[in-house]
């Protein structure tokens, strides 16, 4: 298989990942900018590999179950996820909100685990979706504890304006002071989060634990009561990873 074919297949999978309802071949072809016949051949090959599935009645395509199997296998190999799960469950029991575990991935963070709240209206976490480190409590809790040089490189890559950069740096200083990050509506309007950093055996910030909810369920007093809970869980996970702090 040529690199061009692989690239095209990746684009097709990306389209399907972005639309969970199922997509027709004409729409896929339009979005990946390929001819309909070429797109259909790609889809046929991907279906044979079980990376894509097609609904017989509607002829709509969606991601196949093999991708889920591969993702599950990848997540199971993440030692931090396995070690963190008991503490994430304890945290959810204490606050009854959605809990997520985020890991740093370059200039981004990715949610690798989520435990959902029992509330009917809830905050939805997309596993595996890269999100910027400088936006939201889950990312800032990591960014605040990285070396200054790395922080500078990450902020430079975001092309934030000078005023926003100064605000972010003030936020990071406050997160270092308190050991936790709190944001309301910063990434998603109407949402809120309380997060704390996770460190590895070298003392490097490699992830974060987040308590996620709707802003209306996170008044100031509740946010403050959640701070120590997030910090406690993150420290327990960090110790499981060999952190001695």
pLDDT 10s digits, 75-101 = 655 678 888 999 999 999 999 999 999
The reply to whether 201 falls in a domain is yes
Q: Helix or strand or coil: residue 131?
A: strand
As for how many domains the chain has, the answer is 2
Q: Which residues contact 88 (CB under 8 A, 6 or more apart)?
A: 99, 101, 113, 115, 209, 233
**What's the pLDDT score for residue 212?**
92
Structure tokens at 103: 């890991």
Do both 24 and 50 map to the same domain?
yes
CATH number for 169: 3.30.450.40
Domain contains 148: yes
pTM score: 0.68
Which of 47, 69, 91 is at the close of a domain? 69
**What pLDDT is recorded for position 143?**
96
* pLDDT score at 20: 67
**Rounded-to-integer distance, Cα 24 and Cα 52, Å:** 12
Domain that holds residue 29: 3-69
Per the domain annotation, does 33 fall within a domain?
yes
Nearest to 195 by CA among 240, 131, 152, 106: 131
Looking at the structure, tell me whether residues 133 and 173 fall in a common domain.
Answer: yes
Predicted pLDDT at 185: 84
pLDDT > 90? residue 172 = yes
């Amino acid at each position: 298989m040529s690199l061009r074919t692989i690239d095209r297949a990746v684009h097709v999978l990306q389209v399907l990942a972005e639309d969970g309802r199922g997509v027709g071949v004409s729409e896929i072809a339009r979005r990946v900018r390929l001819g309909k016949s070429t797109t259909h051949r790609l889809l046929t090959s991907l279906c044979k590999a079980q990376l894509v599935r097609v609904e017989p009645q509607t002829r709509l395509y969606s991601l196949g179950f093999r991708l889920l199997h591969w993702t599950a296998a990848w997540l199971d190999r993440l030692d931090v996820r396995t070690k963190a799960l008991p503490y994430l469950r304890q945290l959810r029991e204490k606050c009854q909100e959605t809990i997520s575990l985020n890991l740093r991935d370059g200039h981004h963070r990715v949610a690798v685990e989520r435990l959902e709240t029992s509330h009917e209206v809830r905050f939805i976490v997309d596993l595996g979706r890269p999100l910027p480190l400088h936006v939201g409590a889950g990312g800032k809790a990591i960014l605040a504890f990285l070396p200054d040089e790395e922080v500078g490189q990450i902020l430079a890559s975001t092309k934030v304006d000078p005023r926003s950069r100064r605000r972010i740096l003030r936020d990071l200083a406050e997160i270092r002071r308190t050991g936790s990050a709190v944001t309301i509506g910063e990434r998603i309007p109407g949402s809120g989060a309380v997060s704390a950093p996770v460190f590895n055996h070298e003392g490097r910030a490699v992830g974060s634990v987040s308590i996620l909810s709707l802003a209306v369920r996170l008044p100031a007093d509740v946010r403050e009561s959640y701070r120590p809970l997030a910090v406690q869980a993150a420290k327990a996970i960090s110790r499981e990873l060999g952190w001695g702090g």
